[in-house]
Each structure stands twice: as C-alpha cells, then as structure tokens.
Structure 1
Amino acid sequence: MAGLSPGIFAAALAVTLFAGFVKGVAGFAMPLIMMSAFSSFLPPQLALAGLILPTLLTNLSQAFRQGVAPAVQTARTYRRFLAATLVFIVISAQFVHVIPERAFLLGLGLPVTAFAVAQVMGLSLALPLRHRHGAEWALGAVGGLYGGVSGIWGPPLIVYLLSIKADKAETVRVQGVVFLMGAVVLCGAHLATGVLNAQTLGFSAVLALAAQLGQIGGNRLQDRLDAVAFRRWTQALLILTGLNLVRQALMG
C-alpha cells in the first residue's frame, strides 16, 4: 500500500479502474486522468510511480489487439517518432527530482487543458507537414520531454496522427505501440532514478490490475456505443482534469 491509509489506497484503485475504462473506450487519456486525480492526494513522485505499470500493461493489450504483425509494422513505420520519444524520456526522467511541485502541475495542466478545449471546440489540430520525417523527430522529442517527468506523452502523438490523417484503427494501434515502448523505457528510467523501488513497484502493480480490469470493460462497451459521443465526454473530462491541475498549481 506504499505507506498509504486504506482510504487513500482505495481511492487510488478507484481512479485507476475508471481511467482504465476510459482508455478501453477511447484509446487514450488514462495517464492524464490518473495524474490529475492522484495529484489531489498523492505526492508527485508516488503518483508517477503508480501510473507506470498500469500504462505498460494496458498499452501492451492495446498494441497487440489486432495481432503481432500489425504492431511490428507500426513500430517500423513510426520508428523516427518512437526513437525521439524514447531518447527524450530517458533524458527528462533525470530531472524528476528537481522540478518544483507547482511547476510540474502547471506545466502539465496548461497544455492538457488547451489540447482538450481545442478538440471540444472542433479546432483543427492538424499541422501542415511539409517534411513528415522532421515532424516525427520534433513532436516525438516534445512528447518524450513531458513523458519522462509526468508519464504522459500522448498529445504530441495525437496531433501528429491527425496531421497525417491516420484512420481510426491505425490511430488506436499506433497509440498503443508508442505508449507501450515509451512505458518500457519510462519504467527502466525510473528504476534508475529510484522513483520505482521495492515499495512503489508493488503499489504500481496492484494499480495495473485495476487498470486492466477497467480497460476490458471499456473495450466491451466500445463495441456497442457510439465512440464519437463517448469521446466528447472524454474530452470534457480532460478539460476538468487539466483545470484541476492548474488549480492545484496556483492555489496549492
């Protein structure tokens, strides 16, 4: 239980179960939801440790849901984005101990809120890519810089996929592959920094089981519900989570 009271531990499980459910339906947003909620009652480094194994397990399921061959091909096609993301996760993870808590919350909350508001308003997030290879390197690096300190590197990837007009199946699969490989590197990086240790690994492993259960339920519901309508609710939720992070950064 990582030294937490039963009530706090139960709250962490409930948040993770819900976040896994949202990921099962929408394909993303689990770390955003977890970090926003966790920051209300957990120290930042314990919150980061808690989401690492859930992210690893759920993205393993998402990446290989359509089979091994499509996942391998996706890794080859998006190798530049992957390489940039993974390298910068390792680099930025080294600074997790020196970033002030309020700066961490504000730096995460503002771009998440802006990203979600843009989606809800129907604003195009697609970029006019003249040089696709360069865009992969640049956006992958941005995602990795955020990922190493927060466990979240999805928004730059989503912007890139919108820009190249990837279809729905490819979008979900690419997210799974990139998030999975990033989670593997993030796990290794924070085993080295000490964020993941004997105490926090057990905590993260229990949360991973809750996330997987939530994802299974979300996948089943995705097959029966209007995914577009549910994504709108998810986007509204992202706005609330982003604003909550900003509130905590400004008010303490």
Structure 2
Amino acid sequence: MSFFAPLFAEYDPLSLVLAALVMFVAGFVKGAVGFALPMVAVSGIGSILPAAVAVAALMLPALLTNVWQALRDGLGKALESLRTFRAYTLGIVVVMGLVAPLVSILPAPTLLLILGVGVTFFAAIQLAGWRPSAEMARRPAAGAVSAGIAGVFGGLAAVTGPPVVLYMLARGVPKVEQVRIQGVIFLLGLIVVTSIHGATGVLNAVTLPLSVLLIAPAFAGMAVGLWVQDRLAQETFRRATLVVLVIAGLNLLRRGLAG
C-alpha cells in the first residue's frame, strides 16, 4: 500500500476513477484499431490531470498492451514483421529516444498543441481522400520522413500511430500484419522512452504508481477491442482508424488552446 500512498495523497479518488475509465476506453480503441491508446489517454486523462502526468501515466499500460499486440500471433511472426520493416523501425526508435527528454521541458499547452496539430492533420488529409500511392510509399525517402515524424510524436507522448498507420495503409499492408508491426514498433519505442522518463523524473513516486494502477483497465478494454477488431472488414478498419485520429486530434487541440 505504501507504493500507492504518494498517488492517493496527491489526487482525489474521483480523478483516479475517471483516469481508469479513460484508460479502459483507450485500451478498447487500441484493441479495435491497433493503435491510439496514447492519443486517447493523453487527451482524456490530460483533461483531468496535468499533461505531463497523463504522458507518464500511459507508459506502462501502453508498453504492456503492445507486448500483447506484437506477440498475439507468436514471437516468430513478430520477428518476421520486424525483419521486413527493420530500417523503418530503427529510425522511429532512435528519434523517439532523442526527443523524449523534451517532455520534462516543454510547457503543457505547447505539448498538446504540437500533438493536436499533427494528429488532426494526418487524419484530415486521409478523410479528405488523399492517400500516398504505393509507389511513393515504397521510396526510401518516404519511409525516412514517416519514421522521423513518428519518432518525434512518439518521443513527445508515445503517439507514434498516425504516421505509421498512414505509411502502412499506403503500402497496402494487410490488417493483421499492420496491427502486428505497429505493436512491434510501439513496443520497442516505448521501452526506450520509458527508460528515459525514469531517468528524467517524468516517471516518479506519484506517476509510476498511477501508471501501474492503469494497467488493468487498459488490458480489460483491449480485450473487448480485440474481439471487435476480429470482426471488422479491411475498409471498415481503415475508416475507423481515421475517425479515431480526428476525434483524438481535435480534443488535443482544444486542450492546448485552452491552456
């Protein structure tokens, strides 16, 4: 109980219950579409608690749900996906590690605005009908740009999903393979970012217990979401991912502008 004592001393029970409910929804969305737990968690929990606390809180739930997502089809399949996208994955992880220390420096409104603009932009261009061609996506430069952008957003708040999803959709990667490689990329990146946050103090005596507390609702939500995902058609899956991006991105913008 002493492990959680600083958390309960800092925040009231209602705030913690609401944070757990948000994390359940975030887990559900991740299970259904294969990503977006950080976006939903940051935008939702960030409406209840400070932005930096929201970022810290999602670290362990995101890390462990990505273990589940990456290994759902077995270690062999995960390694096969990693080999296929090894250069792309390495680029994302390296940039995430370089950017992550900024979380302890940037003002909360600035952090939320950066995330909100990026997420909303990526979703809006897709919903407007723009989609990079498969030929364009296969160019090394396209992969490098996508990996760089994903690494920046991933380092700031583990929001690696939008550019990765767009890149995978453009490459025409099948749904199951897309979800698996997303899990592998997110997992490796989060291992690096979580380690950095532990060193910089973003994960501390208050936020680490909060992150532990939110693991269970994240897993419960993801279990329900995976049941839904298995019943989604490919095009329905694609549209659902974009709708999730728009909603989360606009909420991040609202939080950033509200200060």
| Letter paired with 1:116 | A
What is the CA distance between 1:83 and its match in structure 2? Answer: 1.2
1:119-138 alignment runs, 5 A limit: 119-126=126-133, 128-129=135-136, 132-138=139-145
Paired amino acid for 2:27: G
Aligned to 1:62: 69
- Which of 155, 174, 189 is residue 182 of structure 1 equivalent to? 189
Partner in structure 2 of residue 10 of structure 1: 17
Structure 1 residues 230 and 78 mapped into 2: Cα distance closer, same or farther (>3 Å)? closer
Give 1:205's aligned amino acid.
Answer: V
Q: Aligned partners of 2:240 and 2:173: how far apart in 1?
A: 22
Q: Which TM-score applies when normalising by structure 1?
A: 0.91
- Structure 1 letter corresponding to 2:164: L
- The correspondence of residues 1-252 of structure 1 with structure 2, limited to 5 A, is 2=7, 3-126=10-133, 128-129=135-136, 132-224=139-231, 228-229=235-236, 232-233=239-240, 235-252=242-259
Aligned 8 A contact 1:33 1:238 in 2: no
Matched length? 252
Q: Deviations over 1:125-173 (max 9, x none)?
A: 4475376334333321221122112121111211221232211121111
1:104-144 superposed Cα distances (whole Å, 9 cap, x missing partner): 11111112112222333333144753763343333212211
Q: State which drifts further: 2-11 or 225-234.
A: 225-234
Percent of pairs identical after alignment? 40
Q: Where in structure 2 are there 5+ consecutive unaligned residues?
A: none
The Cα offsets for residues 60-86 of structure 1, whole Å up to 9 and x where unpaired, read as: 111111111110111122111111111
- The CA distance in 1 between the partners of 2:26 and 2:102, in whole Å, is 26
Aligned-partner Cα distance in 2 for 1:25–1:246:
24
Report the Cα distance in structure 2 between the residues aligned to 1:201 and 1:218, rounded to whole angstroms. Answer: 25
Q: Greater shift after overlay, 97-106 or 111-120? A: 111-120
State the one-letter code of the partner of 2:155: G
Contact 2:33 2:240 in 1 (8 A): no
Relative to structure 1, is the Cα distance of residues 205 and 129 closer, same or farther in structure 2, using a 3 angstrom cutoff? same
Alpha-carbon shift at residue 243 of structure 1 (Å): 1.6
Q: Which moved more, 1:104-113 or 1:8-17?
A: 104-113
- Structure 1 alignment gaps of length 5 or more: none
Deviation at 1:224, TM superposition (A): 3.7
Q: Match for 2:75: what amino acid?
A: V
Check whether the contact 1:80–1:133 (CA below 8 A) recurs between aligned residues.
no
The one-letter code of the counterpart of 1:91 is L
Contact residue 20 and residue 214 of structure 2 kept, 8 A: yes
Letter in 1 for 2:118: P
Q: Distance in 2 between matches of 1:220 and 1:130?
A: 31
Aligned with 1:28: secondary structure? coil
| CA RMSD across the alignment | 2.1
Distance in 2 separating the partners of 1:249 and 1:57: 28
Q: Structure 1 50/215 Cα, relative in aligned 2: closer, same or farther at 3 Å?
A: same
Q: Structure 2 length normalisation: TM-score?
A: 0.89
